[in-house]
Structures are given as structure tokens and as C-alpha cells.
């Protein structure tokens, strides 16, 4: 069999998958054209590697498959590139992303290349299976049509699977978000009964009451309380709000800093932001759509349940 069309189908579907997962949203990554070109180029390479692996195995040319191990090391460099770039840029943000958020973004860019390899591999494999399924057909053209249809269907399924794998949980799935007016007790800024920070200057207090917004995130269970306690998760909330709504501050104003603090008794999280666009409903939506960082997820209830079951047995 001539594998040209099967390889072409795998590369095309794999590249389309990478393009689909390469979306610039309100979090602004990748922002610039050259950053996108780098990720598209690595996506094409990943698609080619996943595609040529199938003919190599079928032709018992196992040496070619070892290129996949070389590719894995190269994709780790993509992860390092994203981490280093975002870390450098984070120093110039008025509200930084934080190391936890940056590590999550870098991990996502590496894993997407592996999803491209998987999609291309499956597409090419199903194309070849579809080609040989109707060996009784005398027309090679019809065999290629059958293989192409089978490969495209498999590619679409893999694309949907990739979308499912890349869509993690959002904050709105874990908490109830409530808008609470800001208030001062003396020099202390409070959201509900949660103390946020100390502002002594009356002018600064007036600015904060005029431009600031306060929200309380009520966790649904004890697992969420531990997740909200993670400093990286809190910083991700503040950063996404600043990116989507702007931020009312400049350098040299330590009092005009968005902050998130926890109620130690109940586990609720109070979020204080200073948006340029002071829209309460939009701010609630942005907070709700903040991704739950993998490094912030903790499951203490699951651990306690397992320990209880082991003790019973």
C-alpha cells in the first residue's frame, strides 16, 4: 500500500487539532503572532511524528518509532520556553499571574502536542484499516475514499476527545459567588466580616469605595476550602479579573492592590478587586470562569474516607 494519502490525512487532521486548541482568549496567551507560529510549527511536527509511526510499525521499521522519544524531549523544551517567557513577562504585570498559574499554562502547551500525536496516530491507523477493509474493491480510488472517510470520522472523535481533556473545572463549579459592598471600620477594609487590609488615608479610602468591588466565594465542600486556600489559585483569580476588566492602579501605589483573603473559620474567600470596568455581573462571570489550577486541587475528604475504610477493614 502507498501510505502517502494516509500520512497526509493524519498530518492535516493533527494540524487542525492543534489550531483548534490554539486560541487566544481573555487570558492573553499566546498573544503575539510569532508565539503562535512557534506553537503551530511544533504542532505540525507532532502531527507528522504521530502519523509516520503507523507506517513504520506496519513495515516493521521500529527504528523510526524511536523518534517519538526525541520528540518528547523537544516538547518539554516547549514547556520550558513558555514557562521562562511568562515568568519574565510576569514581572511587568500590574497584577501578576503567579508561578502556579504559569506552570499550569506551560503544562497545557506541552500536553497539547501529545494530544496532536495521538490524534494523528489514530487518524492514520483508521485510514489504513478503512483502506484494507474492502480488499474486494478493485478500484484503489474507492479504497482511498473509504479510508479517508474512516480517518476523518476518527479524527473528529479524537478532536472532541481532546477538547474534553483540555477543558478543566472552573471556579463557578466549586463555589457560590456573592457580591458584597466594601466597608471601612476605622482604617480597616472589610468584605462582609473578613478583614482585607489597612488603609489610613481618607483619600485612598474614598478611591477604594468608589472604584473597588468585593466578592465572597462560598465553597461547596471541604475539598474546595483547601483549594481556595492555595495562594496560586487566589492569584489566578486576581490576575484574570485584572486582564478582563482592567485594573485601577499604577506602580508606586501599594494601597491600590487587588487582594484575596480567607475566612479561617468558614473557609470562605473574600476577593477585593479594582477594575477599570466596574461591572458587577461581568466581574462575577470572570471570577466564575477562572480555571481551577491542577496544583491547587486537594482532596482531603477523599483521603479521610479512604483511611476510615481501611480502619474498618
pLDDT (tens digit per residue) in 71-106: 777 778 778 888 888 888 888 888 888 888 888 888
Work out the average pLDDT over 296-300.
Answer: 65
Give the burial class of 312: count Cβ atoms within 10 A of its Cβ; 0-12 exposed, 13-18 middle, 19 or more buried. exposed
What is the model's pLDDT at position 222? 84
State the number of CA atoms in the 13 A half-sphere of 190 facing the CB.
9
pLDDT-derived band of residue 107, with 50, 70 and 90 as boundaries?
Answer: confident
Percent of the chain topping pLDDT 90: 27
pLDDT digits (tens, 9 = 90+) for 173-191: 999 999 999 999 988 999 9
Tell me, letter by letter, the H, E, C secondary structure of 101-129: HHHHHHHHHHHHHHHHHHHHHHHHHHHHH
pLDDT at 297 over 90: no
Q: What is the pLDDT of residues 221-273, one digit of tens each?
A: 888 888 888 899 999 999 999 988 888 887 777 778 899 999 988 889 999 99
Dihedral of alpha carbons 159, 18, 290, 25, sign: negative
Q: pLDDT tens across 20-58, in order?
A: 887 655 454 555 555 678 788 888 888 988 888 888 888
Instruction: Tell me if residue 293 falls in helix, strand or coil.
Output: coil
Confidence band, pLDDT 50/70/90 cuts, at residue 307: very low
Q: Find the mean pLDDT for residues 295-305.
A: 59
The dihedral sign for the CA sequence 272, 233, 170, 32: positive
Burial (CB < 10 A; 0-12, 13-18, 19+), residue 94, is: middle
Residue in 234, 184, 225, 178 with CA at minimum distance from that of residue 207: 184
Across 220-295, the runs of DSSP E, i.e. the strands, are: 259-262, 269-273
**Rounded Cα gap, residues 218 and 130, in angstroms:** 53
Residue 83 phi/psi, 5-degree rounding, is: -60, -45
From CA 124, how far away is CA 154, in angstroms rounded? 9
Tell me the pLDDT band of 304, cut-offs 50, 70 and 90.
very low
Say which DSSP state 280 is in: H
Share of the chain above pLDDT 70, in %: 88
pLDDT in tens, 57-70: 888 777 766 777 77
Amino acid at each position: 500500500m502507498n501510505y502517502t494519502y494516509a500520512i497526509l490525512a493524519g498530518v492535516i487532521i493533527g494540524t487542525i487539532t492543534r489550531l483548534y486548541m490554539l486560541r487566544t482568549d481573555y487570558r492573553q496567551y499566546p498573544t503575539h503572532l510569532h508565539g503562535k507560529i512557534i506553537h503551530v510549527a511544533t504542532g505540525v511536527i507532532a502531527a507528522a511524528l504521530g502519523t509516520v509511526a503507523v507506517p513504520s510499525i506496519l513495515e516493521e521499521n521500529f527504528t523510526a518509532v524511536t523518534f517519538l522519544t526525541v520528540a518528547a524531549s523537544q516538547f518539554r523544551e516547549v514547556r520550558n520556553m513558555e514557562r521562562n517567557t511568562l515568568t519574565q513577562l510576569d514581572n511587568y504585570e500590574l497584577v501578576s499571574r503567579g508561578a502556579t498559574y504559569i506552570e499550569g499554562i506551560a503544562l497545557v502547551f506541552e500536553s497539547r502536542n501529545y494530544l496532536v500525536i495521538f490524534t494523528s496516530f489514530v487518524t492514520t491507523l483508521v485510514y489504513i484499516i478503512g483502506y484494507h477493509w474492502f480488499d474486494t474493491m478493485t478500484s484503489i480510488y474507492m479504497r482511498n475514499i473509504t479510508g479517508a472517510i474512516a480517518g476523518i470520522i476518527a479524527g473528529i472523535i479524537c478532536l472532541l476527545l481532546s477538547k474534553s481533556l483540555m477543558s478543566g473545572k472552573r471556579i463557578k463549579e466549586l463555589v457560590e459567588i456573592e457580591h458584597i459592598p466594601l466597608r471601612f471600620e476605622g482604617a480597616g477594609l472589610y468584605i462582609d466580616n473578613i478583614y482585607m487590609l489597612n488603609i489610613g488615608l481618607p483619600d485612598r479610602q474614598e478611591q477604594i469605595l468608589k472604584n473597588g468591588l468585593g466578592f465572597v466565594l462560598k465553597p461547596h465542600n471541604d475539598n474546595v476550602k483547601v483549594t481556595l486556600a492555595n495562594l496560586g489559585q487566589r492569584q489566578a483569580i486576581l490576575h484574570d479579573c485584572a486582564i478582563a476588566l482592567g485594573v485601577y492602579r499604577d506602580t508606586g501605589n501599594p494601597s491600590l492592590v487587588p487582594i484575596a483573603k480567607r475566612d479561617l473559620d468558614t473557609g470562605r474567600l473574600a476577593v477585593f478587586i479594582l477594575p477599570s470596568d466596574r461591572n458587577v455581573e461581568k466581574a462575577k462571570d470572570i471570577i466564575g470562569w477562572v480555571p481551577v489550577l491542577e496544583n491547587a486541587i486537594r482532596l482531603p475528604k477523599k483521603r479521610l474516607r479512604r483511611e476510615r475504610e481501611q480502619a474498618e477493614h
